């Protein structure tokens, strides 16, 4: 007997029903089996509701329009795909440096951002780089020369590479989210 069958049997009034009677026991087993199936289906559905466990990853990607068009032919790991879903869900929009640094971090990248300003009296010092008026809407995303994504138990699929590296998903997502009037420059390594 299952725990559900035992619970159903405990609900019977003891003075009116004999839980060990063959017909009643068979009926209880059948009802318990149906309830066990329903509980299992509910657990599977609950797994698919949350995007971070990968159970419904294909559905999340379909709904969110992922992978991004610039990554359509790239081979991404399950971990990178989960990070892209998370970044798209969390990245509703913003124009601050903090927003883009957090967006990059949700994709697994550690970055800083440099903003360029035209020279203005009282704001520049000797030795500061000079950026003309064309640079007022430009900013550079500074990332490590190489970012490596290593497979981790529980977040890798069979046949997947143990390590992948590259910055294509960083460039793709940040470029898609950048305000239209800005020019994005990506710098890797020591900048």
Domain range summary for the chain, segments of one domain joined by +: 3-49, 52-188
104: closest CA among 164, 48, 183, 188? 188
CA distances from 115 to 18, 33, 148, 175, 182 (A): 79, 63, 26, 16, 11
Percent of the chain whose pLDDT exceeds 90: 12
- Give the CA angle between residues 138, 107, 48 to the nearest 5°: 140
* 164 strand-pairing partners: 149
152: closest CA among 56, 78, 48? 78
Q: What is the pLDDT of residue 69?
A: 85
Instruction: Give the Cβ contact number of residue 158 at 10 Å.
Output: 4
Q: Is the pLDDT of residue 154 over 80?
A: no
State pLDDT tens for residues 36-69. Answer: 999 898 888 877 777 667 778 888 889 888 888 8
- The answer for 154, left when phi > 0, alpha when psi is -120 to 50, beta otherwise, is left
Cβ–Cβ < 8 Å for 160, 151: yes
Indicate yes or no: pTM above 0.85: no
Q: What is the pLDDT of residue 107?
A: 85
């Amino acid at each position: 007997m299952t725990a559900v069958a035992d619970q159903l049997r405990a609900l019977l009034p003891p003075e009116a029903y004999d839980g060990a009677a063959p017909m009643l026991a068979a009926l209880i087993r059948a009802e318990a089996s149906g309830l066990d199936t329903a509980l299992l289906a509910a657990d599977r559905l609950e797994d698919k509701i949350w995007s971070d466990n990968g159970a419904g990853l294909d559905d999340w990607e379909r709904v969110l329009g992922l992978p991004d068009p610039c990554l359509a032919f790239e081979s991404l790991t399950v971990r990178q795909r989960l990070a892209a879903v998370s970044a798209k869900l969390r990245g509703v929009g913003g124009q601050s440096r903090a927003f883009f640094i957090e967006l990059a971090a949700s994709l697994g990248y550690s970055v800083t951002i440099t903003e360029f300003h035209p020279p203005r009296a009282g704001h520049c010092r000797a030795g500061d780089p000079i950026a003309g008026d064309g640079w007022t809407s430009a900013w550079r995303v500074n990332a490590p020369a190489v970012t490596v994504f290593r497979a981790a138990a529980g977040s890798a699929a069979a046949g997947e590479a143990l390590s992948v590296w590259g910055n294509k998903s960083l460039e793709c997502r940040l470029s898609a989210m950048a305000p239209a009037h800005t020019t994005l420059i990506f710098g890797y390594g020591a900048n």
